[in-house]
Amino acid sequence: MVLVGVGAGESNMSEQSRQPIRSVIDHLVAGKFTELEMLTKGQRLSAPEIARAISVYGRRLVVPPDDAFKLMDVVEVRNFKPPQWSVNMPLWTEEEGRSDLSIGVTLISDGEGFKIELDDIHVL
């Protein structure tokens, strides 16, 4: 596996590829952890693990502003079939605005869109 860095917000990924990240965040904000586990096929994190990570952080997640997606850090995973990207995105909270909490997501091209794997929820 070879990772090739792309500057925050400067990837060649289309708007279509940002939609899965928005979907993950929307599920987190709404507290729909079971649905998020189903969306990501539970590849890395189960609903209880997701809930625990959010609970431990102790703040209320909110939907980030539209321009926040410029902060998305995208790394293409080279030499993988199908094509994959590793994405890190900061989250927003009611108390802090942009928080130290972020998500790590792998997007896997399926020819028509992307399969989503929620790799991590972590504090930067």
The stretch 83-106 carries a mean pLDDT of: 96
Instruction: Count how many residues are written for the chain.
Output: 124
- The fraction of the chain above a pLDDT of 70, given in percent, is 86
pTM given for the model: 0.86
* Residue 102 pLDDT: 97
Contact 76, 13 (CB under 8 A): no
3-state SS, residue 9:
coil
Q: What is the pLDDT of residues 45-68, one digit of tens each?
A: 999 999 999 999 999 999 999 999
Query: What DSSP string describes 52-83?
Result: HHHHHHTS-EEPPPGGGGGG-EEEEEET-SS-
